[in-house]
Structure 1
Amino acid sequence: MSRAPARRSTGDRANLYSEITDRIIAELEAGRLPWVQPWGTDQARTAVGLPRNAGSGRPYSGINVLILWGAVIERGYSGQGWLTFRQAKALGGAVRKGERGTTVVYADKFVPEDERRRASEKGEDPQAIPFLKRFTVFNTDQCDDLPEVIATTAPPVPEGLILPRAEALIAGTRVDFRIGGNRAFYNPLHDFVQVPPPQAYFEPVNWHRTALHELGHATGHRSRLDRDMSGSFGSRKYAFEELVAEITAAFTCAALSIVPTVRHADYIASWLDCLREDNRAIIRAASQASKAADWLMGCLPEDVAIPETTPHDEEAA
């Protein structure tokens, strides 16, 4: 005999509704409309479409669409496929250790056996009871060893967009470097870099600057240069680490004959606060950036040629 779903109290359902509503309110207050996809129509960005179960292909519906779209935007996933922990395992894959899942909900109704008997005795239609169940799902970006037809694949990078010397340096670092999604970041908890494809940038040179900035952060991992990366967003420590990564990118760009630039102009105000508060901050940041750039350049194979930059090259770039 099939087992009826466990009853949830009215309070449990109300709490779940409140959680979802609060999340949507936060998105709106941040100036984002969760039901308007912020992605372009080109294939250089996150895949456009409804979120779906990556195993069955069945699309999610209702509030789950907004929840999963929000997770894709917030975490920069490159695809719209999702699986439960068990589904990933059944497909021969696995959710990577430490990955945080996304909670979706399943709403339905069921008729308890007691209600069936009561309705039968009185000749009435049985009354169904609504219920909500929570499920935790993981984006295919969070899984390893999935079949090729299911695994998220970023759009192929057209030949020539990534400079061979930059590609060689990235490979030489042995940092987990992922191309995909619609934002660039370094994840210190799981020690990986993710950068959108070069074709997502108006100028391919800016992809290199971005990639080297994020690799600059990666040098601070405890297994490498072991910098203090404990600062939360908006803190002085966070601003200082961004300054180190930005200068690291500039130094490394120059060493690779890529014209450097300030990529994160929006951090300038917080950098100024750092410098006004500590007149030695820029010296410490530049010193740590030099160590980071030296570490990165030390990963470049010796047989990789670096052309000299000329004024003509700079204009072309």
Structure 2
Amino acid sequence: MGTARQIINDERKKLTEIVIKNLEKDGLNWIKGWRSQCTPKNGATDLPYSRGNKIKLMIIADQKELEDPRWVTFKQAQTKGWKIKKGAKSIALEKWIFTKKEKNKLTGEEILIKLENPIANYFRVFNASDIEGIPPLNKVKKLEFSKTNIEFIERIKKSSECQILEKNQDRAYYSSASDHIVLPLKENFKSHEEFLGTMLHEMAHSTGHSSRLDRVLGNKFGSPEYAKEELRAEMSSVFTQNELGLELKNNHIENHSAYIKSWIKVLKEDNNEIYKAASDSEKIAERLIGNFNKLEKEKQKYKGKIIFPKKRNINNDLER
């Protein structure tokens, strides 16, 4: 048994190998499986998992065709009076500690100190399908699309931090130079779902503007930087859809072989890249959700039920 950091590195390598294998087999179509899964959450606390742990559980759930998004530790199951099924296998998740409490030498007060080198640890969780006695899952009703959802799409559009233009052309893109999004006309899409998915993808790109989350944009097609930004946009689009209670089946990222090859190259060179992408994607999704939520609170016109994730401490992805 190695150190916590060694175990984490080994787990990251294994997950990266799964992602590479999926990319080589299905290109970016493999991401579609995430849309059938609700946001992974702890079955005991009801808190959603975040960042690398979130993406890992979504990938594992898709791979194993798990329909229940709840996960708990052995201790949590024991405390609740639930029983882990014989032969059930757990999944290792990461736990990073970035701060510690110390006493102020002058005042004696406890203060929070930021660690130069975060402390690495891990914990293991079991899926609810492997737990006896856990209550049935209360499934969140997905928003079904129809003509009445055009108004809902328009409200999401209004929450954009940059202007969104619809033009009679066949290309969707975000221009970082002029800070606006251009989309084909709604009637040029096969469905309202496809239009919304494309819009969310471009809205994700727009968060990279220097006045917002400040990512490097305008990268050359086929380059590693282009690949990284495209995957972040698509991953965050999926996160946003799940948290809004949407079920969009179409894949909106361009499935070019040049992009696939460049992304595989990036992953092979760095086992940490999928975790970096997950962290950035969650920040993007939280910004998009936050903007929409703020607009909804101001208007208070929409009567449909939208479930937003509980607040969490994004600095420490602690055992829940």
Which interval holds the TM-score relative to the shorter structure? 0.3 to 0.5
Q: How does the TM-score come out when normalised to structure 2?
A: 0.43
Compute the TM-score of the two structures, normalised by the length of structure 1: 0.44
Point out the structure with max Rg over C-alpha. 1
Q: Which has the higher contact order (CA 8 A, sep 6+)?
A: 2
